[in-house]
């Protein structure tokens, strides 16, 4: 049975395994994770994680931009008033006010979303269930998450150690980027450093694992 077809728990099934399953099935919907007395959500579209909301550790966009020195407290206060009046997204209001550039807002939102997914990947436990019938929110269409960056961060979590170990043992004779990933190469490059992109490109053809790791510019 697929990991997406029945409820599970992160104490037994790491988020990385769910991400791989969703990718292979081109799943769309929402993964709901119960923890900290509430529910966090990770939305998928066609197998890719596209947006997250967390119950614990929420980082408002305005506070992130304030902490980064992009806006001041007066701009934050005024933008919050306008957001309450118009119900428009906070980022759009800040850009319209001239308080922040679109690039600054997008960068902060990408950082916010990546942080949320990292929090979920680090959870040691938590019941989860995937709901394929759930509508994917419009705001996720902005493409704030890099699917491969999300998977890499999830695999780096302690909970995924066994999954990584099994995968590396299976790949000792040689490794190659699976077709489901190779077909989405432009998408994979998003969110990766230059050294990481070069490593992904080297997997276009089968390569012995020892040779691949020996030439790695990225820490294990």
Which pLDDT does position 189 carry in this prediction? Answer: 65
Mean pLDDT of 208-219: 76
Q: Is the pLDDT of residue 74 over 90?
A: yes
Residue 38 has a pLDDT of 96
- Which pLDDT belongs to residue 126? 96
pTM of the model as a whole = 0.82
**pLDDT exceeds 90 at position 106:** yes
| 3-state secondary structure string across the chain | CCCCCCCEECCCCCHHHHHHHHHHHCCCEEEEEEECCEEEEEEEECCEEEEEECCCCCCCHHHHHHHCCCCCHHHHHHHHHHHHHHCCCHHHHHHHHCCCCHHHHHHHHHHHHHHHHHHHHCCCCCEEEEECCCCCCHHHHHCCCCHHHHHHHHHCCHHHHHHHHHHHHHCCCCECCCHHHHCCHHHHHCCCCHHHHHHHHHCCCCECHHHHHHCCCCCC
Statement: residue 75 has pLDDT above 80: yes
**Is 54 a residue whose pLDDT tops 90?**
yes
Condensed to tens digits (0 to 9), the pLDDT of residues 132-185 reads: 999 999 999 988 998 888 988 899 888 898 888 888 787 777 888 777 666 666
pLDDT of residue 168: 78
**Percent of the chain at pLDDT above 70?**
93
């Amino acid at each position: 049975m697929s990991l997406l077809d029945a409820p599970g728990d992160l104490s037994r099934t790491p988020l990385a395994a769910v991400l791989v399953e969703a990718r292979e099935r081109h799943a769309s919907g929402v993964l709901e994770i119960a923890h900290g007395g509430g529910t966090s959500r990770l939305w998928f579209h066609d197998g890719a994680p596209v947006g997250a909301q967390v119950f614990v550790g929420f980082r408002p966009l305005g506070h992130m931009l304030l902490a980064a020195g992009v806006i001041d407290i007066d701009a934050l206060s005024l933008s919050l008033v306008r957001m309450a009046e118009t119900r428009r997204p906070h980022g759009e209001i800040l850009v319209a006010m001239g308080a922040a550039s679109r690039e600054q807002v997008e960068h902060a939102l990408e950082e916010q979303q990546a942080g949320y997914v990292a929090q979920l990947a680090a959870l040691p436990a938590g019941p989860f269930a995937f709901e394929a019938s759930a509508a994917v929110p419009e705001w996720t269409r902005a493409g704030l998450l890099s699917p491969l960056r999300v998977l890499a961060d999830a695999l780096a979590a302690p909970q995924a150690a066994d999954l990584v170990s099994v995968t590396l043992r299976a790949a000792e004779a040689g490794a190659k980027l699976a077709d489901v990933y190779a077909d989405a190469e432009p998408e994979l490059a998003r969110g990766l450093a230059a050294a990481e992109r070069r490593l992904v490109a080297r997997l276009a053809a089968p390569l012995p694992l020892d040779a691949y790791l020996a030439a790695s510019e990225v820490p294990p």
